[in-house]
């Protein structure tokens, strides 16, 4: 099974078309998540993914996200090797931020130093 890498554009379309059937899992740390996050995403940091895997709703399409797509890509490869079907947001939240996606919630002080 291969990892499905998706672009920000594909992700936005998924949100528009399948919002209720998406499980968006953010693998960043809490401090990062508090700065900027995708609406209705679930925070499960990379360091906790192994012990919290049961919190993921596998009946939905699972999309993993992080700042740039690197950490979420790593988690995606681990999950795919374990037989799970996931997608990775290829360029992470950064791409959504650059395109001013209305899917983001951000702290007013975000994001000059974060990206």
Tell me the pLDDT tens digit for each residue of 18-47.
Answer: 999 999 999 999 999 999 999 999 999 999
Set out the domains of the chain in order of their start, with CATH numbers: 4-102 (3.40.250.10)
**pLDDT, position 1:** 65
CA-nearest of 89, 98, 107, 97 to 25 is: 89
Low-confidence ranges of the chain (pLDDT < 50): none
Helix ranges (H only) for the chain are: 8-18, 30-35, 49-52, 70-81, 92-98
Length of the chain: 115
Percentage of residues in the chain having pLDDT higher than 90:
87
């Amino acid at each position: 099974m291969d990892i499905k890498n998706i672009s920000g554009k594909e992700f936005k379309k998924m949100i528009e078309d399948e919002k209720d059937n998406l499980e968006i899992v953010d693998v960043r740390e809490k401090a990062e998540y508090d700065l900027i996050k995708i609406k209705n995403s679930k925070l499960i940091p990379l360091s906790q993914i192994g012990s919290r895997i049961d919190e993921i709703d596998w009946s939905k399409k699972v999309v993993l996200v992080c700042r740039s797509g690197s950490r979420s890509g790593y988690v995606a490869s681990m999950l795919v090797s374990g037989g799970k079907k996931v997608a990775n947001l290829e360029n992470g939240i950064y791409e959504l931020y650059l395109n001013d996606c209305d899917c983001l919630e951000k702290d007013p002080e975000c994001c000059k130093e974060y990206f």
